Amino acid sequence: MTSILIGLIPLFLFLGALAVLSGLLYWHSSRRKGYRSPLTHELLRAPGHSLLKRIDDLNLDIDCYATTMAAMPLLLYASYLSTRYFGVAKEGAQTGIIYGLVWLAYTLYFGKKLQRLLRERRGYRLGLDCEMAVGEELNNLMGEGYRVYHDVPAEGFNIDHVVVGRNGIFAVETKGRSKPEKGRGSSDATVVYDGRTLRFPDWIGTSHLDQARRQAEWLSQWLTEVVGKFIPVRPVLVIPGWYVERVRRGDVLVLNGKKDYRFIASQWTDTALSRKLIQSVSDVLEQVCRDVEPTAYKPSQEIRGEAPPAQPRKILGRVTPIRRIDRASTH
């Protein structure tokens, strides 16, 4: 028992240092008491808001795993030296082998975890870059009187962008896919859309189109229930950076993210929207998208006193929590 406690001395020192660091951080945050943020309301979601939060969580996990992998050899070696110094470990290779096996087990376990997290973060980063690029492009429509909302929370998923304007409502789904290296031919960076299927150089399928349709259908049904008038929604799929070869028109608009706001402005849905209807739809989307609290200070009394931001079904009297976000497609 004594040998075990002596061997854990380096771990206790490491945990003690972490406790001191935590105390310093708490002391720093407590000094902000008596001050509050000048903002008195939540902010609207930015493009890729959900992906950014997920990336932040992954960064925290990656830092923890990386720190553990880096510190573990030092802790084990310090533990070995402590037991030798206090004379509780016998001479011989057996003790060193045991410590070596423990280090190898930790390295393999945390290395596998770290590899999975890095791969997952790479996919989310690609999705975030593409959503931000498409969001910046769509924001140009605001100068023409359109309303643009990003990362709209729905029932169990999120809609990357929603555009509301005089010529209708568009649910925009962004798919980030990595491209082949330059010099392999232009056909390697081309996706063929025949109205029903997407044909990439290394993949053929309809899942991206099906997702865009489902999201547009859900948004149409939800807005129709809330507003009390049929609201058609046109599905749009944007694949940034890829050349889109349209062989045949389909019900889903497939774009490549370059000057697409002009293309969307030229499209028409089944119903032209009046100013009053545009305002009604915008008010509803504003409620579900304005839920980002300022981060510099804790929420002020003004924000706390307001009603909580409405979830998609909360307006209808039914609450359905948001549990996940759609992942980016990577290769």
pLDDT value at position 204? 92
Total number of domains in the chain: 1
Annotate 19-87 with DSSP letters as a single string. Answer: HHHHHHHHHHHHTTTT---S--SPEEPPTTHHHHHHHHHHHHHHHHHHHHHHHHHHHHHHHHHHHHHTT
Q: At a CB cut-off of 8 Å and minimum separation 6, what does 282 contact?
A: 147, 164
Segment 115-135, tens digit of pLDDT = 999 999 999 999 999 999 999
Residue 137 has a CB neighbour count (10 Å cut-off) of 23
Residue 262: pLDDT band (50, 70, 90) is: confident
Residue 270: pLDDT band (50, 70, 90) is: low
Instruction: Decide if pLDDT at 317 tops 60.
Output: no
Residue 93: pLDDT band (50, 70, 90) is: low
Mean of the pLDDT values across residues 265-286? 86
Distance, CA of 132 to CA of 135 (rounded, Å):
5
Segment 188-231, tens digit of pLDDT = 789 999 989 999 988 899 999 999 999 999 999 999 999 988 99
pLDDT value at position 319? 34
Choice between 23 and 245, residue whose per-residue pLDDT is larger: 245
Instruction: Decide if pLDDT at 326 tops 60.
Output: no
**Which residue, 205, 128, 222, 132, is CA-closest to 171?**
222
Instruction: Decide if pLDDT at 39 tops 70.
Output: yes
User: In terms of residue numbers, what domain contains 231?
Assistant: 1-331
Mode of pairing for the β-strands spanning 158-165 and 168-174 = antiparallel
Rounded to the nearest 10 degrees, the angle between the axes of helix 275-289 and helix 207-227 is 110
Q: What is the DSSP code (8-state) at residue 153?
A: E
Instruction: Decide if pLDDT at 149 tops 90.
Output: yes
pLDDT value at position 320? 38
pTM (global) more than 0.85? no
